[in-house]
């Protein structure tokens, strides 16, 4: 199969919500396969990227799925709480045919043992609720003030400060999700980059050129000596 | 490979640097590698200039990013690297101010290393710190410990950050790579990132390279 020029092929693009719909629906369908009608999960937020090569596209999706653990209202204890899962899917779309290559789902709820001052334990319930608890903004404002002092941040206006607080709060939830999905011993939380949006962080600090194939050099000889 | 290794303890690694608000990780990764190679050949640890690469390596794009493979070529064709003191880091591109007389370090070649992490460990222990590129997923909020993000979230396809492996070992039976980052000492573990070893975590094994000093 002829392959398009590399520049058009290899780049991984952040997708608009509409473009995600088809692969996300397919992922959900695969997740729900074999489940009774009342036990099927529903799609929450989705984001993802696509990498195109030739006539194929590989979608990497990150999605939240909502599951209702009890589907019989006559025996369920009310209110029935939803279970939120964070899933990663890799879906290959080749000539319109979808293939699920990878699926990793886990509940967005985990125990975190960070004894430092900036522990996120108090924000854990956020991940399983549709709205923030009432004292959320008070707690978050306090953590944000500590962040501003520690990292000597100054903002141009009150509006900018308010915006950064909002970004910071969102980031705390993101950090908690990342924490929940880490299988090592790493701890995630407040860092000097906590007031930057994901896009700002990527633009300022990261290096998209690394996704390009680097020029081949001689292979190093193996090290065999004891 | 020996069970553990740390080039920091052997004096082959300069202090953690800070790239500032500039996507110049590629330059820091490469100078870190050359610093190690020079130390191993000559026994002297010199802190080398990233700014020289930002200004004079025309194959790369300064703060907009670059590739270690092109940086090695640039160092070779320029004739070497000046020291940090002679060509200070500014964190933005300026006109090339390279002076051949101030070159303190040269390289003869550069090599691609194995994608096998056991072989990488063996190479590191014998030959010195390695320039690698990784997917930086989660690093915005990393504080300490050994990171092992789920593979789909930290896919080797989305490599976007260059760093320097300076050692490896195990912590409570979890194998790790000790990675020198360039975001200052007020990030991570005194500027270092610890990533799971042996699982191809975040594509750590996909773009391992080194300069060669004869």
pLDDT in tens, A115-158: 333 333 333 344 444 445 567 778 889 999 999 999 999 999 99
Calculate what percentage of chain B has a pLDDT beyond 70. Answer: 100
DSSP per-residue string spanning B31-94? HHHHHHHHHHHHS---PBPSHHHHHH-TTS-GGG---HHHHHHHHHHHT-B-BTTTS---SS--
Residues 6+ apart with CB under 8 A from B43: none
Q: Which residues of B touch A207 (CB under 8 A)?
A: 23, 25-26, 65-66, 133, 160-162
Give helix B68-78 / helix B25-42 axis angle, nearest 10°: 60
* Closest chain B residue to A14, measured at CA: B158
Catalytic residue IDs of B: 25, 161, 181
Interface probe with B: pick from A12, A101, A202, A220, most Cβ of B within 10 Å: A220
Size of interface A-B (CB pairs under 8 A): 190
Cβ contact, residue pair A217, B151, below 8 Å: no
* Interface touch A214/B160, C-beta < 8 Å: no
> B63 vs chain A: nearest CA distance in angstroms?
8
Residue B201, preceding peptide bond in cis (omega within 30° of 0): no
Using the beta-carbon criterion (under 8 Å), do B158 and A49 form an inter-chain contact?
yes
Looking at this predicted complex, what is its ipTM?
0.95
Maximum average pLDDT range among A8-17, A66-75, B73-82: B73-82
Q: What CA–CA distance (Å, rounded) separates B51 from B83?
A: 10
On chain A, the residues whose CB falls within 8 A of the CB of B171 are 185
| CA distances to A102, A173, A215, B211 from A109, in Å | 22, 12, 43, 45
CB contact under 8 A, B183 and A209: no
Q: What pLDDT, on a 0 to 100 scale, did the predictor assign at position B99?
A: 96
Euclidean distance between CA atoms B52 and B55, whole angstroms: 5
In chain A, pLDDT over 90 holds for what percent of residues?
27
Judged by CB atoms closer than 8 Å, whether chains meet at B150 and A51 is answered as no
Q: Which of A206, A218, A225 sits opposite B126 (nearest CB)?
A: A225
Nearest of B46, B42, B33 to residue B7 by alpha carbon: B33
Asked whether the beta carbons of B77 and B60 are under 8 A apart, the reply is: no
pLDDT in tens, A27-83: 888 888 887 777 788 887 788 888 877 777 888 888 888 876 655 444 444 444 567
CB contact under 8 A, B152 and A12: no
Chain A residues touching residue B110 (CB < 8 angstroms) = 217-218
């Amino acid at each position: 199969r002829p392959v398009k020029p590399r520049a058009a092929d290899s780049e991984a693009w952040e997708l608009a919500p509409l473009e995600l719909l088809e692969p996300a629906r397919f992922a959900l369908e695969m997740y729900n396969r074999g489940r009774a009608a009342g036990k099927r999960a529903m799609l929450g937020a989705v984001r993802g990227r696509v990498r195109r090569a030739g006539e194929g596209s590989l979608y990497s999706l990150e999605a939240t799925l909502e599951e209702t653990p009890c589907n019989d209202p006559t025996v369920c204890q009310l209110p029935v709480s939803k279970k939120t899962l964070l899933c990663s899917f890799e879906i290959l779309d080749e000539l319109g045919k979808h293939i699920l290559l990878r699926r990793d789902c886990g509940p967005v709820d985990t125990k975190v043992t960070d004894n430092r001052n900036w522990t996120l334990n108090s924000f854990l319930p956020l991940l399983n609720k549709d709205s923030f608890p009432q004292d959320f903004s008070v707690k978050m404002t306090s953590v944000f003030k500590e962040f501003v002092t520690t990292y000597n941040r100054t903002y141009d206006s009150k509006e900018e400060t308010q915006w950064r607080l909002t970004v910071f709060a969102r980031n705390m939830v993101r950090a908690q999700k990342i924490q929940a999905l880490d299988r090592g011993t790493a701890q995630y939380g407040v860092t000097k980059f906590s007031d930057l949006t994901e896009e700002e962080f990527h633009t300022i600090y990261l290096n998209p050129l690394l996704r390009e194939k680097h020029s081949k050099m001689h292979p190093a000889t193996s090290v065999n000596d004891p | 490979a020996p069970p553990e290794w740390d080039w920091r303890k052997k004096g082959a690694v300069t202090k953690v640097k800070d790239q500032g608000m500039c996507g110049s990780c590629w330059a820091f990764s490469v100078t870190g590698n050359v610093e190690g190679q020079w130390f191993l050949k000559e026994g002297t640890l010199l802190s080398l200039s990233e700014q020289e690469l930002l200004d004079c390596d025309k194959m790369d794009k300064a703060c907009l990013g670059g590739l270690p493979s092109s940086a090695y070529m640039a160092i070779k064709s320029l004739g070497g690297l000046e020291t940090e003191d002679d060509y200070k880091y500014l964190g933005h591109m300026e006109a090339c101010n390279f002076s051949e007389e101030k070159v303190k370090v040269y390289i003869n070649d550069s090599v691609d290393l194995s994608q096998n992490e056991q072989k990488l460990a063996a190479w590191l222990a014998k030959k010195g710190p390695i320039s690698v590129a990784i997917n930086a997923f989660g690093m915005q909020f990393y504080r300490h410990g050994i990171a092992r993000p789920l593979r789909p979230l930290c896919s080797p396809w989305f490599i976007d950050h260059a760093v320097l492996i300076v050692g490896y070992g195990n912590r409570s039976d979890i194998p790790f790579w000790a990675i020198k980052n360039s975001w200052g000492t007020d990030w991570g573990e005194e500027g270092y990132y610890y990533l799971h070893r042996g699982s191809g975590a975040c594509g750590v094994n996909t773009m391992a390279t080194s300069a060669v000093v004869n």
